[in-house]
Structure 1
Amino acid sequence: MKKSTLIQCSAIAVSLALLGGCSQKDEAPATAAPVAAPEAKLVKLGFAAPLTGPQAHYGKEMQNGVVLAVEEANAAKVQIGGQPVRFELVSEDDQADPKQGTAVAQKLVDAKIAGMLGHFNSGTSIPASRIYSEAGIPEIAMATSPAYTGNGYKTTFRAMTNDVQQGSVMGRFAVDKLGAKRIAIVDDRTAYGQGLADEFEKSAKEAGAEIVKREFTSDKASDFMAILTSIKSAKPDVLFFGGADAQAGPMARQIKQLGIKATLMGGEMVKSPNFITLAGSAAEGTVASLAGLPLAQMPGGKDYETKYKARFNEEVQIYSPYAYDATKVMIEAMKAAGSSEPAKYLPFLARTQVAGVTSSNIAYDDKGDLRDGAITVYKVEGGEWKVLEAAGK
């Protein structure tokens, strides 16, 4: 056989083999390898509040609201910019202490958080806000002192109405509704307590009341006998306290022991179940304000109450609905921006218009304060906080 013939035969054999191979593939196609789902991007959210000490009940309830919102976002498999993300909450205990607050703030910045939910107290939020601002990290705090947003940082936003709104409502209420003409004021010298007391005093004076005593204590005190004895001689109709329930409870007891007839008033840190526990029967008749509407009247209050109880097996107290909304607002801003990078979603956060649990339209002004917000006034009757009126819309 010629060499050329051998080559031709070999070529034919190879061609037949290839054709046979193709025929076999057509009859039994191989299964395609599964396409791996894109890995979720980790987005860290910071949280800080007092988680130990006498104000821990405030911080833990606030934390619950954030946890609930983060868990819901993760269960919904949120995508940002077309990429799946998983949110992780990085929590720190600031102990309601300004020095600890700044240390915690720097720690969270170093942990590369994308946004900050907290702090709780004005005294910690104000110094910590500078650290977040310098890092360009948006912060939504529970702080109510006007000074929190008064520094002009573009990264600061507020979860609740401020002390100007609360103090002015309560000052007018004391005069117009309680008929107070002589008023005594005590504050705990914290940024929150003093700021709220200042705004209350200003409003009460404008409404025509006389401030017969202005005293101060600390947020660690429990004995107020000397202050209250001095106040008793001034015969006030109302005694307003700017501070927390840990002090207001014992103060109410000592007011009763001394036979002072003045109505005790306070802000939202007094309006708590813990105050009634600490004050006992002396809590009766105490009047306090709270930012926003009562839970039952909030747009999403009923649904929130149901899922909060199911998750934590306890009642909603004061702050968790606002913390929940703050978390939702921050995540919605990231989704709208298509990015969890602080510089990219910050402008969207500033332009927020979102329906939440606490309000049908959560939106901020150019300082980061809430544009709309009611103040509800409560009174202890029969061992429970009862609504007197909603005002300040």
Structure 2
Amino acid sequence: MTRLSRRSFLTAAGVSLATPYIARAQSNAPIKVGGMLPMSGAASIEGRQVLLGLQFAVEEINAKGGLLDRKIELVIEDDESNSTKGVTAVRRLIERDKVPFIVGTYASAVVVAAVKVAAEYKVPMLSGGSTAAAGTDQNTPGDPWFFRSWPDSNKQGEDTAKAIVEKFKKTKVAIIHDNTNYGVTLADQVTRVVTAVGGVIVSRDSFNAGEQDFSSMLTKVRTLRPEAVYIGGWAGDGANIVRQAAEIGLRAQFVGSGSMLSDDFIKLAGPASEGFAVATVFEPSTPNPVGRAFADRFRARFNQDANTFSSIGFDSTSIGLEAMRRVGRPDGQEIQKMIRGGMKDFALAQGPAGTTAAFNEKGSVDFPDFIAVIKDGKRRLEV
């Protein structure tokens, strides 16, 4: 038998005695979960609203004692809607913070790049607002690593287009969209569906996100006398378009993409937002009792109404946390399996009454969008 010196023996004994203490200290440490959103840049309006939902979900679970006898710590990375920074943020959250899942992000192009990295590390991502079908289309059917707890842009575009023709009775439609994957996908879907249900697309114009002057484009559109104008893009751009359209006298039913659901859109567009219509998965007046309860708690906490952005942040975070609770440990691979097929009984704040986290094989949840119209400075559900 190998002989140990007294020093070696004491060192070995000290290590063995210290190990249980270290393990206990580690087991009581907070569980970090990741959030990746545009806190700055063109989509920061939306990103900051989504963040409130993430924070609220974590606050509520910590108020109940945390999860797995540990507190939850939310770690946020700002991707600035930039794919390169998004990839770096994912690596940092996984390698540095050891997060078992990530809620992120808003810009779909960033999702497409970032989820490839997350999948390599076996860490699931739950959408922080990304709606473009490209996010879930890149998933392997039956084995998704990116999850969206609401319908993709194809379904949003379809529901919006049908509302233009069937609800608002407008058949001459002009389309204005940004050049992001999100904007192009929506414009394509609106074009297909409007045409299929008897409408006509009188023009289609695109712009770069962040542009400020739309006067030439809108003047040209005005000469075509459209009955409706569909806008696909981010909230700030949409507000500028609606406001400038009013200034040049372009009168039509304006309809926009889900990114234009925040109260900030109404503030930025001002009186020109009156009558603006948008597809939505949540409003405080939702007929979904789970959503209504969330809206009441949110208002009590933040002294402001919840909106679609805060609801999707809340639902995405809640799904990840509940999946981790059911798994019993912060294990990304096991959490992905649970989200993939074991959450069909988990009720969501979004969607109609009875909507649950029943993800399809591509990682999306299917339900019909609501249509909301801005009246007296507030969104009202059209039911």
TM-score bin (small chain): 0.7 to 0.9
AA at the equivalent of 2:107: N
Counterpart of 1:98 in structure 2 is: 83
Distance 1:281 1:133 in 2: 45
Counterpart of 1:69 in structure 2 is: 57
Distance 2:99 2:176 in 1: 38
AA at the equivalent of 2:361: D
**SS at 2:70 equivalent:** strand
* Residue from 134, 137, 148 that aligns with 1:147: 134
**Residue pair 1:292, 1:374 contacting (<8 A) in 2 also:** no
AA at the equivalent of 1:77: G
Where in structure 2 are the equivalents of 1:352-391 lying within 5 Å? 352-353=343-344, 354-358=346-350, 360=354, 361-371=356-366, 373-389=367-383
Pairing 1:303–2:282 present: no
The offset of 1:161, in angstroms, is 1.8
Distance 2:66 2:270 in 1: 46
**Residue pair 2:281, 2:350 contacting (<8 A) in 1 also:** no
CA 1:205–1:44 in structure 2 vs 1: closer, same or farther (change >3 Å)?
Answer: same
Counterpart of 1:114 in structure 2 is: 100
Deviations 1:210-262 (A, max 9, x none): 11111101111111011112212222111111012211112112212222222
Counterpart of 2:17 in structure 1 is: none
The offset of 1:159, in angstroms, is 2.8
The offset of 1:45, in angstroms, is 0.9
* Residue from 343, 359, 372 that aligns with 2:333: 343
* Residue from 259, 276, 283 that aligns with 1:269: 259
TM-score, with structure 1 as normaliser: 0.83
Deviations 1:92-138 (A, max 9, x none): 11112233222222222222211011112212222111111111101
Distance 2:186 2:226 in 1: 19
CA 1:158–1:383 in structure 2 vs 1: closer, same or farther (change >3 Å)?
Answer: same
CA 1:204–1:262 in structure 2 vs 1: closer, same or farther (change >3 Å)?
Answer: same
**SS at 1:101 equivalent:** helix
Distance 2:63 2:275 in 1: 44
Q: In terms of mean alpha carbon deviation, does 356-365 or 317-326 score higher?
A: 356-365
Counterpart of 1:11 in structure 2 is: none
**SS at 2:305 equivalent:** coil
Counterpart of 1:27 in structure 2 is: none
**Residue pair 1:293, 1:374 contacting (<8 A) in 2 also:** no
The offset of 1:181, in angstroms, is 2.3
The offset of 1:79, in angstroms, is 4.8
Distance 1:176 1:307 in 2: 35
AA at the equivalent of 1:76: K
Counterpart of 2:207 in structure 1 is: 217
AA at the equivalent of 1:152: N
CA 1:363–1:331 in structure 2 vs 1: closer, same or farther (change >3 Å)?
Answer: same
Pairing 1:180–2:165 present: no
CA 1:121–1:342 in structure 2 vs 1: closer, same or farther (change >3 Å)?
Answer: same
The offset of 1:51, in angstroms, is 1.2
Q: Over aligned residue pairs, what C-alpha RMSD do you find?
A: 2.1
Counterpart of 1:6 in structure 2 is: none
**Residue pair 2:42, 2:81 contacting (<8 A) in 1 also:** no
Unaligned runs of 5+ in 1: 1-35
Distance 1:277 1:88 in 2: 33
The offset of 1:41, in angstroms, is 4.6
* Residue from 212, 234, 245 that aligns with 1:244: 234
Count residues in correspondence.
350
**SS at 1:300 equivalent:** helix
Q: Which runs of 4+ in 1 moved over 4 A?
A: 36-39, 292-295
Distance 1:312 1:121 in 2: 25
The offset of 1:331, in angstroms, is 1.6
Whichever of the two has the greater Rg, that structure is: 1
CA 1:292–1:312 in structure 2 vs 1: closer, same or farther (change >3 Å)?
Answer: closer
CA 1:226–1:79 in structure 2 vs 1: closer, same or farther (change >3 Å)?
Answer: closer
AA at the equivalent of 1:96: S
**Residue pair 1:299, 1:358 contacting (<8 A) in 2 also:** no
Pairing 1:130–2:120 present: no
CA 1:292–1:381 in structure 2 vs 1: closer, same or farther (change >3 Å)?
Answer: closer
Deviations 1:291-328 (A, max 9, x none): 24654423223332233233333321321122212222
Counterpart of 2:73 in structure 1 is: 88
**Residue pair 2:37, 2:105 contacting (<8 A) in 1 also:** yes
Counterpart of 2:148 in structure 1 is: 158
Distance 2:275 2:53 in 1: 30
**Residue pair 1:174, 1:180 contacting (<8 A) in 2 also:** yes
CA 1:220–1:365 in structure 2 vs 1: closer, same or farther (change >3 Å)?
Answer: same
Distance 2:298 2:276 in 1: 28
AA at the equivalent of 1:87: I
Q: Which has the higher contact order (CA 8 A, sep 6+)?
A: 2
Distance 1:331 1:320 in 2: 16
Unaligned runs of 5+ in 2: 1-23
Deviations 1:9-50 (A, max 9, x none): xxxxxxxxxxxxxxxxxxxxxxxxxxx999425322110111
